[in-house]
Chains A and B, each alone.
Chain A
Amino acid sequence: MKKNHQVAVLVELGVFVAMAVILDFICGIIYELPYGGSISIAMLPVFVVSYRRGWYNGIIAGALFGLIQCLLKPPFILSIPQFIMDYFLAFMVIGLGGIFKNALSKPLPFSLGILLGSTLRYIVASIAGIIFWAEYIPTEIGFMNNLFGMSLGESAIVVGSLLYNALYMLPSMLLCVVIGLALQNRKILAINLTSEK
């Protein structure tokens, strides 16, 4: 039977976005941070999709994962740029992890892809954090004006955002790598792929 490749990709994206939502939900039962962002392996399905179907489809999967989260939970909108970064950009950059070749069969590119995607997401999430806190905290706190040339308020925002996001991104990334490698080891990430080519 001649397979229509496009349909398979679309369906797989849909099912794996669903997987991401479910994993996020299951991990959310265990622990969730107050400002969104929890230690979760929800990124793993997005990485798997982008390894299997290319970074382009990975980016789409990430964007739609963000969109579905807005539809299902009341989204966390504090300002418009923060909303776009937190819900779309932060998840879209995960898909860029798929630029590594052979990530489904070899452990090194697999881990590197997750590292790249998570780092980019960490950067975007931190910038979003800085943007929104900058709107809600007075930055001209008069005293002390010496840390990296920023005022105390500004440096508190930058450091706080970097720390807060590292608090969940680092464990999430490690969990994704450990669990992802275990799944790769059992050779279940490449199911269905060979029959289509």
Chain B
Amino acid sequence: MKNVVIGQYIPGNSFFYHIDPRTKIIAVVILMVATFLLETIWQVLAGFGIALILIVAGRVPIRKIIKGLKPLYILLLFTLVFQVAFNRVGTIVLDSTMMISPYSILLMIVATVIWRLLASYKKFSLLLFISYLIGLYFIMKDLAFSPIWTSWQLTIYDQGLIMSGFVIIRLLIIITLSTVLTLTTKPTELTQGLESLLRPLKVIGLNSEDFALIISISLRYIPTILDEANKIMNAQASRGADFAEGRLKDKVVQVISLLVPMFIIAFKRSEELADAMESRDFVPGKPRTRIHDLKFNYRDLVTAVITVLCLTGSILVKVL
């Protein structure tokens, strides 16, 4: 609960940090569209190469981007397994008989135990998992001595591998793009950029300034209310409450006793803030001034040119 960092932004001073947030948002959206236009594995590889060049040029910490990929491991794995197991197009890369016998089941259990024991080395978890799968493959292929109970045929086609590679690399590009955006832009700047970009929505009765105001208030109050929640939880802990243990019913009761003060605090805070804003004559919809105005500079031109080049490139390879 302590030292909670909400938000992705890390301070820095490279090229990406000085681009106007509006340019960045539009560029990321266009680049995503361009990525989804690509159709073959060579094209997405080229796109990934461009993304890597941009990351290195913008001195964005690659470790952070890899961290953002973590929740995707399972998805990537599923894709790989499905494509490899079920795609029946193209030439055969691998064709082997997998056998299951009492001996191989024993070996598989041993392999699983070893894998779980080593799982505490979190840094290599992916590598470990891959070697675990390879181990299972060889156990079933070569190490099953009689009596063989059953056997099945594992056939991998090259199109299956290519398709999963395509999907995975495309996903990597998309995640990289959105991570770079949130790593190098403060949430407040993003809000300001969105407000400016969504202004045309006024035509259909949606006021982007109101949205931006709500987001700013919300971003401002997340740490405050989180702090209050922490205090309440600590106060309850000092009286013996424990949020992590107990039966479900106890947990629900504890959450309620946390939420009652939190809601009251939230109502109180919002009333105070509304009063404060009104007493300073804040009227929604009236023009306001800012400390930092957004300005375009030469970097935005460079970004725009690169973005347009990428988009034209992917349209061209799609059409030709």
- A and B assemble together: yes
Chain A positions near chain B (C-beta within 8 angstroms) = 3-4, 6-8, 10-19, 21-23, 25-26, 29-30, 34-36, 41, 44-45, 48, 60-61, 64, 67-68, 70-80, 135-138, 141-142, 153, 175, 178-179, 182-183, 186, 188-189, 191-192
Closest CB in chain A relative to B28 CB, distance in Å: 10
Contact with A along B160-176 (1 / 0, CB 8 A): 00010001000100110
Beta-carbon contact of B32 and A80 below 8 Å = yes
Among candidates A6, A64, A68, A73, residue contacting B8 with C-beta atoms closer than 8 Å: A73
Beta-carbon contact of B211 and A74 below 8 Å = no
| Residue B221, interface by CB 8 Å | yes
Beta-carbon contact of A186 and B36 below 8 Å = no
Q: Which residues of B contact A77 (CB under 8 A)?
A: 32, 174-175, 178
Contact with A along B120-159 (1 / 0, CB 8 A): 0000000000000000000000000000000000000000
Q: Of all chain B residues, which has the CB nearest A139?
A: B86
| Residue B216, interface by CB 8 Å | yes
Contact with A along B55-94 (1 / 0, CB 8 A): 0000000000000100100110011001100111000000
In the bound assembly, the distance between CA atoms of A142 and B155 in angstroms comes to 14
Closest CB in chain B relative to A25 CB, distance in Å: 7
Beyond contacts A6-B284, A7-B282: 13 other A-B pairs, Cβ-Cβ < 8 A, are A14-B214, A34-B74, A71-B191, A73-B8, A74-B179, A80-B32, A136-B75, A136-B78, A138-B82, A138-B86, A179-B255, A179-B259, A183-B260
Q: Which residues of A contact B116 (CB under 8 A)?
A: none
Q: Of all chain B residues, which has the CB nearest A52?
A: B267
Q: Which of A18, A41, A142 has the most CB of B within 10 A?
A: A18
Among candidates B217, B255, B266, residue contacting A41 with C-beta atoms closer than 8 Å: B255
Q: Of all chain B residues, which has the CB nearest A135?
A: B167
* CB-based closest 7 A-B pairs: A14-B217, A74-B68, A15-B270, A18-B221, A17-B218, A18-B218, A11-B274
| Residue B1, interface by CB 8 Å | yes
Chain B positions near chain A (C-beta within 8 angstroms) = 1, 4, 6-8, 32-33, 36, 68, 71, 74-75, 78-79, 82-83, 86-88, 163, 167, 171, 174-175, 178-179, 182, 187, 190-191, 194, 210-211, 213-222, 225-226, 229, 243-244, 252, 255-256, 259-260, 262-264, 266-267, 269-271, 273-274, 277-278, 282-284
Beta-carbon contact of B260 and A186 below 8 Å = yes
Beta-carbon contact of A183 and B256 below 8 Å = yes
Q: Which residues of A contact B187 (CB under 8 A)?
A: 71-72
* Sample of 19 A–B contacts (CB below 8 Å): A6-B284, A10-B213, A11-B273, A14-B221, A17-B218, A18-B218, A21-B6, A21-B222, A25-B6, A67-B194, A72-B6, A77-B174, A78-B75, A80-B36, A136-B78, A137-B82, A138-B83, A153-B86, A186-B260
